[in-house]
Amino acid sequence: MSETLANLLQENRRFEPPAALADAANVKADAYEEADADRLAFWAKQAHRLDWAKEWDQVLDWSNPPFAKWFVGGELNVAYNCLDRHVAAGRGDKVAIHWEGEPGDTRTLTYADLHALTCQAANALADLGVRAGDRVAIYLPMIPEAAVAMLACARIGATHSVVFGGFSADALSGRIQDASAKVVITADGGYRRGKPSGLKTIVDEAVAQCPTIEHVLVVRRTGQEVAWSERDLWWHETVETASTEHEAQPFDAEHPLFILYTSGTTAKPKGILHTTGGYLTQASYTQHAVFDLKPETDVYWCTADIGWVTGHSYIVYGPLSNGATQVMYEGTPDTPHKGRFWDIVDKYGVTILYTAPTLIRTMMKWGDEFPAAANLSSLRVLGSVGEPINPEAWMWYRKNIGHDNTPVVDTWWQTETGAIMISPLPGVTGTKPGSAMRPLPGISADVVDDEGKSVPNGGGGFLVLREPWPSMLRTIWGDDQRFIDTYWSRFPGMYFAGDGAKKDDDGDLWLLGRVDDVMLVSGHNISTTEVESALVSHPSVAEAAVVGATDPTTGQAIVAFTIPRGSVDTAGDAGEALIKELRDHVAKTLGPIAKPRQIMLVAELPKTRSGKIMRRLLRDVAEHRSLGDVTTLQDSTVMDLISDGMKSAKSDE
């Protein structure tokens, strides 16, 4: 960015924490002062929330940056902290997971049940020759065995690599090969939109290219026919016949816990490596602090998939280390009907809900009547994760899901950071719709300009982290130089992973998405996030995606793809009138510089299975290029419709 980001969007609404929640909050305002006074002592105190087999000698070794070591010399076992200690304390009968399958089948697992299954899986893996330091690939649907597989690896010191169940055979084989995994844990299939989808067939295709794989362990979920070879083993014949007795051994705080692959700018995905003590400390603390989790009374539901970092930190390690009761759901939010999520909230009395802005905007598009048909009065804290949330989606979430009285904690963090970094604390922070507010206690985040200098309040720029944090990635698996080049080279001594942000006049932080998604319009850096937020603030708009397209006059011009709300008439003249109204609305909200050159009214946007909008494809359409790779799209026909609409719009010009 040649200059700081234009700071266009103004937001004056503010919501203070409910008094009752503030009075009983797990974390109060003094946590910021405590962390500011001595950051390392603060993190040492949070580490003491865990059970350690051996105390550490040094909180942080930062003698060889950017390679951090936290809780040096300390030893612990992650699975012990998530399971054994709760059972030993007499809480074995407490529900750990209320599991709901997409077809409506259910399972309830207590901490004792989860402990027994994890011990069986640990014994089975050990019998298959898996040792501490070996890698195990996990390719499963959202079933309890996914959490069990992860915990069993952690228990025996094997490093797990979970691959999202929507990825192709090529993507899976590339990740297996990069990690040199020894075993794959998968299922015959899973349910998606009412139908069984195959997973074992994809694993068979992937493993054919992976000589390091010795065994494929298969959970029977759908009962569909699968091909079988000598290396294949059924979970129910292997794991569920193993002994339920297994003693967890402690591992060094820096022992590798998991590798999680995230897409890179090159074709080769980045294997983000997380270790044991620092990661669990911050995942566990942030679960307790950001969600104000009360394990005795709360029922928590994170709607993410186990294949993403949110599923690692806030379905498996964060909640279970705190002894939480949680909901896990296998399927899609509209199967068999668009009220399924809200029925689940009511059925289990969910008190804390953590979901993605994409899903919130989808629910807005479907209509208010679906949440209105459910009770939802059990909810007391709402969370948002995955991308910046626009103010109107935030307000809809608070009003329609939280009945206007629940705090919304909008969280910023990444696969690389391991745990939440920037977020309101629900009992402390007054919130603003669309803002992640302030760094958490013990976290040093800042917004800087091109030279790495802090921007003043009211300015925008690059989001950086100035100090190491416990759950930080340790490297990119097998490629230390790429780790340095990717995250530490842009601003010396600071971590930068590519996100833009602005500080408002109060110094609160607003995330602006990837700096790659910043448009340079007539010399002004404008964030796609702000223009999308302006569009969605119009009552006729459910969702919008904005890209910059090359323009001979302004350098780049703003092109918007907009999904109208269900009841809006877009036929003929009404559609033309709406487009003009939306262009004028953006100009009025953000200023004339941000007025889109073109607005397309579309029925859907190109999204990955995880719900991320693929703006790269929209840029291709906006610039009339042939489409790039569409294999990760949830529905590739969406792009044909958008391309056809763009061509007809061009012919009308």
Which 3 state secondary structure label does DSSP give 42? Answer: helix
165 is in an annotated binding site: no
CA distance 2 to 521: 12
CA distance 4 to 161: 38
454 is in an annotated binding site: no
Nearest in space to 256 (alpha carbons), one of 181, 311, 310: 181
Other Cβ atoms less than 10 A from the Cβ of 89: the count is 11
528-536 and 572-590 helices, crossing angle to 10°: 120
538 is in an annotated binding site: yes
366 is in an annotated binding site: no
Are residues 325 and 378 in contact, defined by beta-carbon separation less than 8 angstroms?
no
499 is in an annotated binding site: yes
194 is in an annotated binding site: yes
CA distance 392 to 209: 47
The alpha carbons of the chain give a radius of gyration, in whole angstroms, of: 24
Nearest in space to 531 (alpha carbons), one of 616, 610, 578, 588: 588
Q: Which two tokens stand for residue 578?
A: 């709406």
Report residue 127: phi and psi, to 5°: -65, -25
276 is in an annotated binding site: no
Report residue 357: phi and psi, to 5°: -55, -35
Q: List CB contacts of 223: < 8 A, sequence separation 6 or more.
A: 188
Are residues 192 and 609 in contact, defined by beta-carbon separation less than 8 angstroms?
no
193 is in an annotated binding site: yes
Classify residue 15 by its DSSP letter.
Answer: B
CA distance 262 to 633: 16
Q: Which two tokens stand for residue 269?
A: 């995905």
CA distance 533 to 547: 13
CA distance 491 to 416: 17
- Buried b / exposed e over 109-133, threshold 16 CB at 10 Å, is bbbbbbbbbbbbbbbbbbebebeee
Q: Which two tokens stand for residue 386?
A: 């995955």
CA distance 319 to 322: 5
277 is in an annotated binding site: no
Are residues 496 and 490 in contact, defined by beta-carbon separation less than 8 angstroms?
yes
Q: Which two tokens stand for residue 523?
A: 């010399």
310 is in an annotated binding site: yes
Report residue 444: phi and psi, to 5°: -115, 90
195 is in an annotated binding site: yes
Integer CA distances (angstroms), 62 to 66, 84, 410, 468, 477, in order: 8, 32, 30, 8, 20
514 is in an annotated binding site: yes
413 is in an annotated binding site: yes
160 is in an annotated binding site: no
192 is in an annotated binding site: yes
Residue positions forming the annotated binding site for Mg(2+): 536, 538, 541
Residue numbers in the known binding site for CoA are: 192-195, 310, 522
Residue positions in the annotated binding site for ATP?
A: 386-388, 410-415, 499, 514
Q: Which residues are annotated as part of the binding site? A: 192-195, 310, 386-388, 410-415, 499, 514, 522, 536, 538, 541
